[in-house]
Structure 1
Amino acid sequence: MAAIRAKRYKVAEYLIDQLGVNVNHTSDLFEFRINSQIPIREQIISCRDLAYSRGMMDLVDLIDITSDEVKPSVKRYLQRRLKVRLDQIHQAYLKRMKERSHRLTIQVQEKDKQVIEEDDLENDNEEPSSA
């Protein structure tokens, strides 16, 4: 909800799609209006409601796709409608995973190289034993 409040579309999209945050989460919103007859207004707002009020309609559709409260027929319709965007999200995910595995491979290779160098130094430092 913090990403939606800050209008951080990509962050909210990543959290919903990749990390599987609870899209059915609701929170109490208190509005303090000093100059009105009702100074405090309480409202229970969900992630979807907040995204809708901020005008983030693609995010609303993504929330609907991942929500358990939406019928499967509506989910299929939304998936067809958002196919291009969902494919872009998936490609970005695959790219991140490829970069991560590449970084891990480099780290393992560097670690192996250090172990080999340490072994070579130990072998060089050993004194030959005379018999």
Structure 2
Amino acid sequence: MAIGNFKFYGASQVALSRHGRRGDYYLGSITGDHFADPEFAQRLARIEHRLCARLGLENLTVYWSQAETRIPKTRSPEQRFATAVKKATNKAEKRKAFIIASNLIFADEFLQQEEDALEIRVGQLRQRYGVK
């Protein structure tokens, strides 16, 4: 299996080597296995043909590199809950800092409202993720 990432550049290899910055010519990328999957190989050829036809390119450079094939780990509900609580806490801290910086007279009332809103949000997250 040779899953790879194909990156398309709108210039010849000579132009890319002279210019030095590939990013200026970058057109896009696609990931797949062109050796074992004939449909993907045909799709890749159609993409190359379309790019040349639409952009009027005679020289199209395609680079192939090994793609990441590891399987992502699924997170448990407890881990997702912890992440969501951390995000909610960080947002609440930012709002509290803004309240303290802008409202000195009614800061205590606004801070209490913010703490109450955070408690409500954590309760909602507990229900969503089924964590006790």
Name the TM-score, length of structure 1 as normaliser: 0.24
Whichever structure has more helix as a proportion of its residues is 1
Name the TM-score, length of structure 2 as normaliser: 0.24
